[in-house]
Structures are given as C-alpha cells and as structure tokens.
Amino acid sequence: MKNSLISSLVVLALLSLSRVSFSLFCSNRNQDSATIVVDQSGHGQFTKVQQAIDFIPAMNSIWTHILVKPGIYKEKVIVPPNKPCIVLEGNSAHDTAIQWADSSEVVESATFTVNAENFKARNIKFQNTYNENTRRGDVSSIKPALAFETTADKVSFYQCAFTGVQDTLSDLQGRHYFESCYIEGAADFIWGGGQSFYQGCTINASAAILGGLAGFITAQGRKSETDTSGYVFNQCTVVGTGTVFLGRAYRQYSRVVFSKTYLSNVVVPKGWDPWKYIGREQTITYAENQCTGPGADMSKRVEWEKTLSRAELAWLTNVNTFVNQDGWLQKQPF
C-alpha cells in the first residue's frame, strides 16, 4: 500500500506539470510519460478504470499510460474532451475487459466513451452485455447497446475487442485506426460518421440471434459529397452466423469499402442495402476491391454498387492518405 501511495504521488507530480500550459499536441511518444496502474486486487493505484481517468488533470498534455491488469471491470467509463493523450492498455483482449449492460438512450448506453483526441487502446475488450440473454429470433427485445463510442479525432486501437449485438461500435466522428481488432455484433454493429481505417480486423456477424433476418455490419453516416468520412476495411476477415449485409446507408452519402478482405458465406448475395434511400442510391458509395471467399461473388450484387477508379481506390485504401495525413499515428506512443 505504501509503494502504491508513493507511485500515485509521483504520477500526480508528473501530471500536474501539464496544467501549466495546454497544447493541442501531446508530449513526444514515451518522453515525460506517466503510468497509472489499475488492478482489481488492490496492487495498483486504483481498482476502477474511471478512477484513473478522473485522476488525470484536465487539459493534460503528457502521454499517460493506464495499465489495466487482467480481470472483468464492470463499470461505465467516460473520457471527457479535456483529457487527451491517454494510452489504455490491458494484458490481452482475452483476459482484460471493461463490461457494462445498458440500453438507455443510444449514445448514452456505451460501456466506454472517448470524447478526447489522441487516445490509444490496446490489448483490451469492451463489452455491452445488455442483449446477451436475448432468445434467438426475439428481435423486438433487442435494443441499441453500445460497447464503445468515440466522437474524437486521432483515436487508435490495437488488438482490441468490441462485443455486443446492436450498435456495438459507435464510430461517430473523427479519424480512427483499428489494427488486428475483433468486432462482433448483429445489427448495424459498426455505425456512425467516422473516418476510419480497419486493418487486418476480424468482423464476426452474430446474426443468427435475429432468427432468420439478415443483419448489417455497417451503417455509415457520411452526410455530403464534401464529407471526408467513411469506413475502409483492408485485409480483414468477415465471418459469423446467420446472414448479413455488408452495410446499409445510415445517411444519404454513406461510404464503405471492403478491400482485399475475406468474405465468408454469411454475406448475402446482394451485399448492400439502401435502407431509407431507395431511389437515391446514386449518392451512396459502396465498393469492393479484390475480396476473396464465397461471400465475395459479386454476380448478384446491387446494381448501384460503385466501381471506383484506380485513383479513388489508391486514396481510400492507403491509411496515410485516408486517415493519417498529418502523421498522428506515428506520434502516438508504441
């Protein structure tokens, strides 16, 4: 306990330096960084993740590592806009999880919410278990229940897992990068207006819970021709149960691209759905590029699926041109 107290005081001293002057930029990678340990057994500074977030000073500009020891942390966590420069790290997504069960207002149901820029997570699972015990086919009882939500720019994830049933990952706004992550759900389980790149991720469509109805992987919400948002899935894997559409249009200019991705037979032959924009599909940008697997057969796809030019594909499927234009990924700690 004494050592934990001393460590807390050291961390507080480091973090207090960031109160003097705030910059939109975080300190260089691991230089001048601070570490906070969260451990349910009491061998860290805190036993709850939210306690660690609350401990970080407002307008923080020092990269702060929150190391979460193995366990299931049953709590709802919010990172407010004035607390940037955080790295959240678990032991692995198999043994370290933040879990809650809520289906209140859609954007308020999230187990974990990030509203601060320059946030990085790795080796941790985010779960919303609200719909966990839904009987197969009892669609009316399934509610929006978010595992994770972000409205911030420059947010990245490595070897993380996101599990839920409906609206699992609320990728709402800002530039985001996902690498080697696992994302599970049945209905619109990756949704919002984010500008995001999914690299080497596993997408598990657990649509069997819908009792014969097809689910939807994405519901992307691009609003206009000048809106730069969209979801790109590069070298990913789509598996699951039941059947699933690759996406449906959450907004008029919805944009989703699957590139060099393995599509299993869970993908419905039509591939895509215009939702409420029937007759206005010309503004929707849904495309596939060099995908493989039984679900990649495009012979029965919707007629309005886009064939992108080589230049368009080159821009969208390159992480550095689509989301990392200013090199923010390289500026985050390893």
Give the per-residue pLDDT at 167: 96
Give the per-residue pLDDT at 4: 39
Give the per-residue pLDDT at 136: 85
- Are residues 189 and 210 in contact, defined by beta-carbon separation less than 8 angstroms? no
Name which CATH class applies to 70-79+92-331.
mainly beta
Look-up of token digits 């064939």 = 307
Catalytic residues: 167, 188
Structure tokens at 54: 């609350």
Give the torsion sign (CA, 53, 54, 58, 62): negative
Per-residue pLDDT of the chain (334 residues; tens, 9 = 90+): 334 333 443 333 444 333 333 345 787 655 557 899 999 999 999 999 999 999 999 998 899 999 999 999 999 999 999 999 999 999 999 999 999 999 877 778 999 999 999 999 999 999 999 988 888 878 888 998 999 999 999 999 999 999 999 999 999 999 999 999 999 999 999 999 999 999 999 999 999 999 999 999 999 999 999 999 999 999 999 999 999 999 999 999 999 999 999 999 999 999 999 999 999 999 999 999 999 999 999 999 999 999 999 999 999 999 999 999 999 999 999 7
Give the per-residue pLDDT at 29: 59
Residues 6+ apart with CB under 8 A from 279: none
DSSP code for 55: H
- Are residues 124 and 160 in contact, defined by beta-carbon separation less than 8 angstroms? yes
The DSSP bridge pattern shows strands 187-192 and 169-171 to be: parallel
Give the per-residue pLDDT at 132: 86
Q: What is the value of pTM for the model shown?
A: 0.91
* Domain boundaries, given as residue ranges, for the chain: 70-79+92-331
Give the per-residue pLDDT at 28: 67
Give the per-residue pLDDT at 137: 77
Helix (H) or strand (E) holding 50: helix 49-55
Give the per-residue pLDDT at 141: 87
- Calpha distance 48→37 (Å, rounded): 10
- Are residues 154 and 188 in contact, defined by beta-carbon separation less than 8 angstroms? no
